[in-house]
Chain A
């Protein structure tokens, strides 16, 4: 188990990580979702030991990590740009860690070869050992980088946007394979990504990194359907947030008063969150009974294949997004520039205290 407590990292005046607490359990695929510049790479670099925290501590299996040089931490790091050694062949790259590590080095010989070949088999590169790293494709380089790390049997594997450099087809395939490989090895993977779909697909646990802290860490379904705060909701890119001030049992927002289920102190700020796929659209005078609603002007639609995203502009300028599934369409035909009622079930709305 990797445990981070109160980890802080500053660059001059900028705070990348601000008293972050985080636990990566054993034998788990954890994906870490964060916007670019949110400090996700910094977090990985702190764990790997390329940088040290300004405050806080890192424990791995009861042993303190911070202060140890990276080559004595026994942690695997898969770089975004692969960082393969260009002057070595594929098998020499994979053998590097075993042969040249400071402790428990494996001398050249049949044992080393067996382990290198087993690692290449694991990532599906059987027979590629003699190739130069300049002679293989991007996806294959990714696999070599993975094999090079896995062959040293690290206690935890850190992957820094490992699929970022791959094209979409390859990305989908590598997603499945990464999960399969991890399940076979029974070692924890911490996979950092900026893509919410990738994070939700990959992680047994998905952690959202925002404002230098973990906003929420939970299984994909819970996180997606029940984000715990606005930061988590915003990163999932599936929730509309409508801000306002509490007035009795309603929230006074820029798009009008909307009922709320909880009672909050009058005058306090709160955010109402409604998921893209739980908003219905109709003419302003035809709102179904029992549905909460507000009105917004239809801007444009964006066709994505199986789904279609419709953009609405609320009176205060907020952008509201509604998703429609082609196989099960809920929306009427929409005319650009016209105003519609956007309605949702009161149960579908989540309420977050605090300002935006």
Chain B
């Protein structure tokens, strides 16, 4: 055959395009494999183990792999543990709202009113400063502020607003909420700042040009466009607050018991099956909260 043909003989093997595609796919899988391996070894398998252990039989000092629902029954019928769920959810909700109320204006300021990118970054880094001091120091530092002899009480007493020092300021749920809000606020500020900084300046100018006041522009343009940031921030804060135990223990004087505190104390007294039950419950709550958050905003669409 002397004419040119575009049909290549099939027996020549795969076309270079298909080979290249296969190579690209292999490379992509290779990038993924360390992460997947890590997750399977140190997250999925232990999680399965935790669920399994939660059905083991608990004796005073040991667990035996005899399957029973005793631990679950005890957990779900005990008012102490159920109220721990309540406390966890209450602390979570209040801290979430507080970080949003404190963090959003900060993010708005950094993202919208600071035009210089370097200063934006510097301010975001400044939000991380609470993490530079160790947890213990941070907690100790609250005392001169919130204690019965602390600054707030002294000032309020000097001003004559109160006669007796306020005792709820430290070693109470209040101090736990204040502490957590302060620590986790940055996780709210970061993602929101990022989304607000991405809003094209000309979009805001266009809205102004169309006659909208700043309040309207905030409600109609900036707020909806920053929602993905709010959701990502909310997920960060939620995951960390729901699993919290250290701040709760040290700032409440062990008066506020969250699920995390239950797990710590049960593990401490070698009640593995029971700790596993609390762990599974906690994981379910976190999963539910994240699902709920993702329902509110379709991140794939918005990002």
Q: Are A87 and B205 in contact (CB under 8 A)?
A: no
Q: Contact mask B115-150 → A, CB, 8 Å, 1/0? A: 000000000000000000000000000000000000
CB distance from A114 to the nearest CB of B (A): 18
Instruction: Indicate whether A71 sits within 8 Å of B212 (C-beta atoms), given known contacts A85-B221, A96-B207.
Output: yes
For residue A102, CB closer than 8 A to chain B, the reply is: yes
Interface SS of B by simple majority? helix
Q: How many residues of chain A have a CB within 8 Å of chain B? A: 27
Q: Are A102 and B202 in contact (CB under 8 A)?
A: no
CB-defined contacts of B200 to chain A, threshold 8 Å: 81, 83
Q: Which of A70, A84, A87, A103 contacts B209 (CB 8 A)?
A: A70
Instruction: Indicate whether A101 sits within 8 Å of B225 (C-beta atoms), given known contacts A79-B202, A83-B203.
Output: no
For residue A12, CB closer than 8 A to chain B, the reply is: no
For residue A303, CB closer than 8 A to chain B, the reply is: no
For residue A75, CB closer than 8 A to chain B, the reply is: yes
CA distance A81 to B210 in the complex (A): 16
Q: Are A97 and B211 in contact (CB under 8 A)?
A: yes
CA distance A152 to B205 in the complex (A): 15
Q: Are B202 and A87 in contact (CB under 8 A)?
A: no
For residue A148, CB closer than 8 A to chain B, the reply is: yes
Q: Are A97 and B202 in contact (CB under 8 A)?
A: no
CB-defined contacts of B212 to chain A, threshold 8 Å: 71, 96-97, 100-102
For A97, give the chain B residue with the smallest CB separation: B210
Q: Are B225 and A86 in contact (CB under 8 A)?
A: yes
Instruction: Indicate whether A76 sits within 8 Å of B224 (C-beta atoms), given known contacts A81-B202, A85-B203.
Output: no
User: Which of B200, B207, B211 is the most central at the interface, judged by chain A CB atoms within 10 Å of its CB?
Assistant: B211
Q: State which residues 220-259 of B face A: CB under 8 Å.
A: 220-221, 224-225
Q: State which residues 68-90 of A face B: CB under 8 Å.
A: 69-72, 74-77, 79, 81, 83-87
Q: Which of B205, B220, B225 contacts A100 (CB 8 A)?
A: B220
How many residue pairs between the two chains, A and B, have CB atoms under 8 Å in the bound complex? 71
CA distance A72 to B209 in the complex (A): 8
For residue B26, CB closer than 8 A to chain A, the reply is: no
CB distance from B71 to the nearest CB of A (A): 48
Q: Contact mask B206-222 → A, CB, 8 Å, 1/0? A: 11111111001000110
CA distance A54 to B162 in the complex (A): 54
CB-defined contacts of B205 to chain A, threshold 8 Å: 48, 50, 70, 77, 79, 83
Q: Are A102 and B211 in contact (CB under 8 A)?
A: yes
Q: Which of B210, B224, B225 contacts A148 (CB 8 A)?
A: B210
Q: Are A76 and B216 in contact (CB under 8 A)?
A: no
Interface SS of A by simple majority? loop
Q: Are B211 and A152 in contact (CB under 8 A)?
A: yes
For residue A149, CB closer than 8 A to chain B, the reply is: yes
Q: Are B202 and A149 in contact (CB under 8 A)?
A: no
CB-defined contacts of B211 to chain A, threshold 8 Å: 71-72, 74, 97, 100-103, 152
CA distance A79 to B207 in the complex (A): 11
Q: Are A152 and B210 in contact (CB under 8 A)?
A: yes
CA distance A1 to B202 in the complex (A): 26
CB-defined contacts of B225 to chain A, threshold 8 Å: 86-87
CA distance A75 to B205 in the complex (A): 12
Q: Are A75 and B220 in contact (CB under 8 A)?
A: no
Q: Are B216 and A79 in contact (CB under 8 A)?
A: no
CB distance from A273 to the nearest CB of B (A): 39
Q: Contact mask A97-141 → B, CB, 8 Å, 1/0? A: 100111100000000000000000000000000000000000000
Q: Are B209 and A85 in contact (CB under 8 A)?
A: no
Instruction: Indicate whether A149 sits within 8 Å of B210 (C-beta atoms), given known contacts A81-B200, A86-B225, A100-B220.
Output: yes
Apart from A87-B225, A101-B210, 15 more pairs, CB < 8 Å: A48-B209, A49-B208, A49-B209, A50-B209, A70-B205, A72-B211, A77-B206, A77-B209, A79-B205, A87-B302, A96-B207, A96-B220, A97-B212, A100-B220, A149-B210
B contact residues vs A (CB 8 Å cutoff): 200, 202-203, 205-213, 216, 220-221, 224-225, 302
Closest 5 pairs (CB-CB, A-B): A101-B211, A97-B210, A83-B202, A83-B206, A77-B209
> Can you spell out 9 A-B residue pairs with CB atoms less than 8 angstroms apart?
A48-B205, A49-B209, A50-B205, A50-B209, A70-B209, A85-B207, A87-B225, A101-B212, A152-B211
